[in-house]
Amino acid sequence: MIQRMYLVILADGRTRQRPPTGGELPVAFQQTDDGRTGLKRTVERLAPLIDALDVVVVTDRRHGQTVRSLLPNALVLAEPIHRNTAASVTLATVAVERPADEAMLVVIADHEIGDDDAFREAVSTMADSLATTETPGGLAAPLVAFGVTPTDPDPGWSYIRPRYGDAFRAGALRGFPVDGLEANPPAPRARELFDSGTTYWSAGIYLWRRADIHAAIERYTPLLTLIEPAHRSELALAAAYDRIQPLSIDETVLAGAAGDGAVVTIPLDVGWRPSGE
């Protein structure tokens, strides 16, 4: 059983699968009616599970000071330039020294959760299950991509195709191996996936062991060879980021790992929605 878990927040308005809602300030830093930001709400929502000192925020260097003022106890990893979520997750994986079998919860900050208790229960249950679940595809435990029911055939999202015939239970949760993951499909394909009634959107919430995401990044992308030797030097990291294609974690690591049977999805029924919608 995994005794500890840490949180990695991808806090940039452009990290979500959808475009920003507008304005210069990233969505995660915008205040709502209660005076809080999406970033702070994300941490507070998970506070019963994750200590404030176990929070890591990956953001564009332009927003580093903003994040530090909002979350003074968090470790801030400042990217020289935003290159989408695959680079952000890779930086967090190599720059934060944690036990190899520790659970890493990755959350894109610009979303809302209606039922915090149900969300925490889902995360806690799956974190515990990583200690005992085996998977094909060369990983000790599966990569977990939480899913939500699509509301329209929007091509700006990543679509998860579950294998319903191999459903499993983790506590009270229902989960499925993932047959495939299609990120930002063309509009006709998005319509086809939506109309099938058998897909989920990727919620931008992921859970995995640090060792497993490290192995998957190494297997499916060249990012480790660029970021791992450079992350301790600001100049070297900037040079590395200049060579990185801006691709999401969905279309790189998870799409590849799903093809090898190493991804599972847990449908969330927690009142999830993108911020501002």
pLDDT tens sequence across 219-244: 999 999 999 999 999 999 999 999 99
Residues in contact with 67: Cβ distance below 8 Å, sequence separation at least 6, in sequence order: 11, 29, 39, 57, 59, 74, 76
Q: What is the pTM of this model?
A: 0.91
Exposure string of 109-125, with b = 16+ CB inside 10 Å and e = fewer, is: bbbbbeebeebbbbbbb
How high is the pLDDT of residue 4?
81
- Per-residue confidence (pLDDT) for residue 16, from 0 to 100: 46
Q: For 205-217, what is the mean pLDDT?
A: 95
Helix (H), strand (E) at residue 88: helix 84-95
Across residues 259-269, what is the average pLDDT?
Answer: 94
CA-atom Rg of the chain in angstroms:
17
pLDDT band at 21 (very low <50, low <70, confident <90, very high): very low
| Residue pLDDT, tens place only, 130-177 | 765 555 445 567 899 999 999 999 999 999 999 999 998 888 899 999
- Residues 270 and 68: their CA atoms lie apart, in Å, by 29
Give the CB-side neighbour count of residue 34, counting CA atoms within 13 A. Answer: 5
The tally of CA atoms less than 13 A away on the side-chain side of residue 182 is 19
Structure tokens at 235: 């100049």
CATH of 5-274, one of 3.30.56.10, 3.40.1120.10, 3.40.50.10440, 3.90.550.10: 3.90.550.10
Q: Look at residue 20 in the predicted model and tell me its pLDDT.
A: 45
**For residue 13, what pLDDT is reported?**
52
